[in-house]
Amino acid sequence: MKTKAIKMATFMGLVLALVFACSPKEDSNDMASIEASETVAKQQAVVFIAGYDKGSQTYYKDAKKHFEAQNYTIVDDAFSLQEIIAWLNKNHNNQDYNEIHIVNKGNSKKGLSLETTIHGAPLSQESLVNCLKESTLPKLENVLAENSKLVFHTSELGKNKALLQILKQTFTANYQPKVFATPHATVFNGQFQKHFLAKAFYGYYPTAQSPGNVDLSKQFMRTYPYEDIHWLDAIRTKEEKEPGKPFAYKFNIPIRWEVQFSDDEDVPSLADANEIMDWIDDNEVYSQKIKDTGIPLEKFRWKAVKVGQKVIFKGKTTAVCVMKPMMQHNNPLSYVRTEFDNQRYYTQL
């Protein structure tokens, strides 16, 4: 009996030892799993389709479709930075934002077409700095996760690090987000790849005064002498015929200035486009405005209308954009990755 009791005690001791040895570890794993699930549940990702298509354009429609397929929360009625920040504050609901995506057209020089405030100036480095100085934007509340990411889907915005730095400051709350933007063109709903990056090349001519495709191709050759692209074929191609093949599209860029003069004698008499361009060249302010666009003055079609002591200047250029999809170096038939944490193709701040 004594031997049997000792064996039973030994057995129970082993059972208890196993229980005490295993239970805390299992409880710890379960708790870690629960906490991880709760952390995910308390975070959210949102995409702002911050613009609308005009005419036959489908850029925003295609972008919305792309992100809907990835089950992002989509907001398509906020067209200013003011509205975006207000939406983030209002819809936080104790769920930190780990990803904030903003889809908007723009470029590295002028910035975004996104408004700063409702009906305010388009978002640029200058307009955003003015908004911050004047406190015209709402302040982002403590709604960010520790690893929050702010991603701009705006072609070539990654080249403008100064503007991205100010945007980072604008979106800093309880944490400072990481900011991402590509220095390349971004394309949605491609024929062979739904979302891809491309190199963009530009040629210009005064609207309604096309020099013809041959002369346009020569302009591209002079501007980009080291690019291995058959420019004439690219200009004639309206969509990607094969994976990675260059193609082109056109769009107009308008300029409108209203210049008020203090005296009738100061109002210039501008009879033709050459006189208008001479006046702009001689005026430091407006000459600089043209230089900021990166487009030669003579590539605009110019008109000037005198109204009392005011002159209304109108210029319009047609831009021809050749897009060359970016392909993997070791596999020319595969597109480069468009994950925004890909440091080779995205600027990160």
Segment-wise mean pLDDT, segments of 10 residues, the chain, 349 residues = 44 39 44 42 83 88 92 93 96 92 85 91 92 93 94 93 95 95 91 92 96 96 95 94 92 91 86 93 92 92 92 94 93 89 90
Q: Where would I find the H helices in the chain?
A: 2-41, 59-68, 81-90, 125-134, 161-170, 213-223, 231-236, 273-282, 284-293
Closest listed residue to residue 69, CA positions, set 47, 39, 100: 47
Predicted confidence at residue 245, as pLDDT, reads 94
The answer to whether the CB of 216 falls within 8 A of the CB of 203 is yes
Residue with tokens 């599209």: 249
Predicted confidence at residue 206, as pLDDT, reads 97
Q: Where would I find the H helices in 42-148?
A: 59-68, 81-90, 125-134
How many H helices and E strands in the chain? 9, 15
- DSSP at 224: -
Predicted confidence at residue 94, as pLDDT, reads 85
- Mapped onto helix, strand or coil, the DSSP state of residue 154 is coil
Q: Whole-angstrom Cα distance, residue 280 to residue 8?
A: 103
- Cα within 13 Å of Cα(213), Cβ side: 13
Predicted confidence at residue 318, as pLDDT, reads 95
The answer to whether the CB of 330 falls within 8 A of the CB of 316 is no
The tokens describing 265, both together, are 């004698």
pTM for this model (two decimals): 0.79
The tokens describing 181, both together, are 């933007």
Predicted confidence at residue 42, as pLDDT, reads 58
In the sheet that 96-103 helps form, which strands lie side by side, from edge to edge? Answer: 73-75, 43-49, 96-103, 144-153, 178-181, 347-348
Bridge-based pairing state of the strands 144-153 and 96-103: parallel
- Mapped onto helix, strand or coil, the DSSP state of residue 287 is helix
Closest listed residue to residue 346, CA positions, set 189, 177, 193, 157: 157
The tokens describing 314, both together, are 């109108």
CA angle 203, 206, 207 (to 5 degrees): 105
Closest listed residue to residue 47, CA positions, set 162, 195, 149: 149
Q: Whole-angstrom Cα distance, residue 239 to residue 241?
A: 6
Burial of 194 (0-12, 13-18, 19+ CB in 10 A): middle
Predicted confidence at residue 4, as pLDDT, reads 45
Q: Whole-angstrom Cα distance, residue 207 to residue 41?
A: 53
